[in-house]
């Protein structure tokens, strides 16, 4: 295992220096990293192709392959995110609040970096750059621990990042990669126990990874990621809109945490909605490789509604409710009321992103007020739960907890505050 004690000591020293850099210096470094990645795109794509070939030969599913794979367009999106982040307002030093007390003390609450962050994530090479860039702009050093499936991609990206930082006079020691040693997770265990060396750990991946981090960490953790997302079709819903949203949310990027896993339909709309959805999804057979485009896992009433539609429909098991499929699979259920839909979502969701399609303002407001999730949508796809889509430039993850940060986490989520107090010799009586 890499000597993480030495790496964390170096990251700590770099974070101290980085905290003194101006916004202009950090922005210049980010743009230099952008140019470095652009100049090395061929070697990065070649490294990624080797990762993809190895993953596919090992039997990884195609939706997960899509999450791992980089393309020229993917590199362009990474470069655009770096440019957008350089345009974002630097949160460090911002005055959150300021006041004076009767004895004359002046008090300011200001934003400061967290220090050293560890990001533990699966596949998704773009996360390597997003995590670095958000940490750097918010003056945090970052230890990246990607998965073995993306090792060559991550090596190439971190090398390009460090080259860009060095070329711009930036803090090249503010980012390090912890390389997995085969199937061993010894470095992850070390990171999660590294109190005083790691200030915050952020897991980003599937439910098992997040559960392991949350349950075993001795360092502070921001819980992110696992998304069991629901869509509820209200009696007043525009049927075409509901079908378009469900189609987009399930098929566009099935292994994303903001993709749709379960659709709940009011009993008054089930007979017309489910056949219409089956017809829409059948257009994607070539993309998904599944008969009917998507496999439906249904309760008794939704299974009856799909009879004769040609859908690839089977009876659901209890394990299908509240399960993140990460594949072209959709759980379906008929409900009798808005109240039942909300209760089901709160019982089976992961507090990520939930959606209602309705023309009723009262139903929409009730859904927004009562559903417990980081992002609650009315008449829009949950696929928009994303830092870039929210105008944050990039994201470190989607927080599904309630303390410190919730939802897409941009720059301010990687800061804390401290109080600066100034006086003229006051002592407490």
Backbone φ and ψ for 410, nearest 5 degrees, come out as: -100, -150
* The CATH number of domain 229-384, selected from 3.40.140.10, 3.40.309.10, 3.90.180.10, 3.40.190.10: 3.40.309.10
Domain 4-224+396-422 has CATH 3.60.10.10: no
Instruction: Give dist(CA 133, CA 139) in Å, integer.
Output: 10
Contact between 328 and 250 (Cβ < 8 Å):
yes
Question: Which pLDDT does position 185 carry in this prediction?
Answer: 85
Question: Which pLDDT does position 105 carry in this prediction?
Answer: 97
Question: Which pLDDT does position 225 carry in this prediction?
Answer: 67
Q: What is the pTM of this model?
A: 0.86
Give whole-number Cα distances, 255 to 10, 64, 65, 205, 252, in Å. Answer: 35, 6, 9, 10, 9
* Residues 6+ away with beta carbon under 8 Å from 335: 232, 264, 265, 266, 267, 341, 344
Burial 163-181, CB ≥16 within 10 A → b, else e: bbbeebebbbbbbbbbbbe
Instruction: Give dist(CA 320, CA 282) in Å, integer.
Output: 21
Contact between 136 and 142 (Cβ < 8 Å):
yes
Q: What is the pLDDT along the chain (429 residues), one digit of tens a residue?
A: 568 999 999 999 999 999 999 999 999 999 999 999 999 999 999 999 999 999 999 999 888 898 899 999 999 999 999 999 999 999 999 999 999 999 999 999 999 999 999 999 988 899 999 999 999 999 999 999 999 999 999 999 999 999 999 999 999 999 999 998 776 789 999 999 999 999 999 998 777 888 888 889 999 998 876 789 999 999 999 999 999 999 999 999 998 899 999 999 999 999 999 999 999 999 999 999 899 999 999 999 999 999 999 999 999 999 999 999 999 999 999 999 999 999 999 999 999 999 999 999 999 999 999 999 999 999 999 999 998 899 887 788 899 888 888 999 899 999 999 999 999 999 999
Q: Work out whether strand 295-298 and strand 329-335 pair parallel, antiparallel, or are unpaired.
A: parallel
Domain ranges of the chain: 4-224+396-422, 229-384
Residue with tokens 């696929």: 383
Question: Which pLDDT does position 209 carry in this prediction?
Answer: 83
């Amino acid at each position: 295992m890499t000597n993480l004690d030495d790496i964390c000591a170096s990251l700590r020293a770099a974070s101290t220096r980085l905290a003194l850099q101006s916004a202009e210096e950090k922005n210049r470094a980010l743009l230099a990293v952008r140019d470095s990645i652009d100049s090395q795109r061929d070697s990065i794509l070649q490294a990624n192709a080797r990762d993809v070939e190895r993953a596919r030969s090992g039997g990884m599913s195609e939706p997960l392959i899509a999450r791992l794979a980089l393309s020229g367009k993917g590199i362009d999106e990474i470069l655009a995110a770096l440019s957008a982040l350089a345009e974002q307002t630097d949160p460090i030093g911002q005055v959150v609040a300021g006041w004076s007390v009767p004895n004359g003390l002046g008090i300011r609450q200001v934003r400061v970096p967290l220090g050293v962050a560890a990001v533990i994530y699966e596949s998704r090479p773009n996360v390597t750059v997003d995590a670095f860039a958000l940490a750097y702009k918010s003056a945090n050093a970052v230890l990246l621990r990607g998965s073995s499936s993306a090792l060559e991609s991550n090596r190439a990206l971190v090398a390009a990042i460090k080259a860009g930082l060095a070329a711009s006079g930036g803090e090249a020691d503010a980012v390090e990669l912890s390389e997995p040693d085969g199937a061993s997770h010894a470095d992850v265990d070390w990171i999660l126990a590294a109190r005083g060396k790691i200030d915050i750990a952020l897991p980003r991946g599937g439910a098992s990874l997040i559960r392991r981090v949350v349950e075993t960490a001795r360092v502070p953790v921001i819980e992110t990621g696992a998304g069991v997302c629901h869509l509820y079709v209200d009696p007043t819903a525009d049927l075409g809109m509901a079908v378009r949203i469900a189609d987009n949310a399930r098929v566009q990027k099935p292994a994303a945490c903001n993709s749709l896993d379960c659709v709940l339909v009011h009993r008054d709309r089930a007979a017309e909605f489910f056949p219409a959805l089956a017809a829409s999804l059948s257009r994607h057979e070539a993309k998904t490789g599944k008969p009917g485009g998507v496999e439906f896992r249904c309760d008794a009433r939704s299974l009856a509604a799909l009879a004769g539609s040609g859908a690839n429909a089977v009876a659901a098991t209890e394990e299908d409710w509240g399960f993140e499929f990460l594949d072209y699979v959709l759980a379906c259920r008929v409900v009798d009321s808005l109240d039942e839909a909300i209760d089901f979502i709160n019982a089976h969701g992961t507090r990520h992103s939930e959606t209602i399609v309705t023309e009723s303002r009262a139903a929409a407001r009730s859904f927004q007020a009562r559903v417990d999730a980081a992002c609650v949508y009315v008449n829009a796809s949950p696929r928009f739960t994303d830092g870039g889509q929210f105008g944050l430039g990039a994201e470190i993850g989607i927080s599904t907890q309630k303390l410190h940060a919730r939802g897409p986490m941009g720059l301010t989520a990687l800061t804390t505050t401290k109080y600066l107090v100034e006086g003229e010799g006051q002592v407490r009586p």
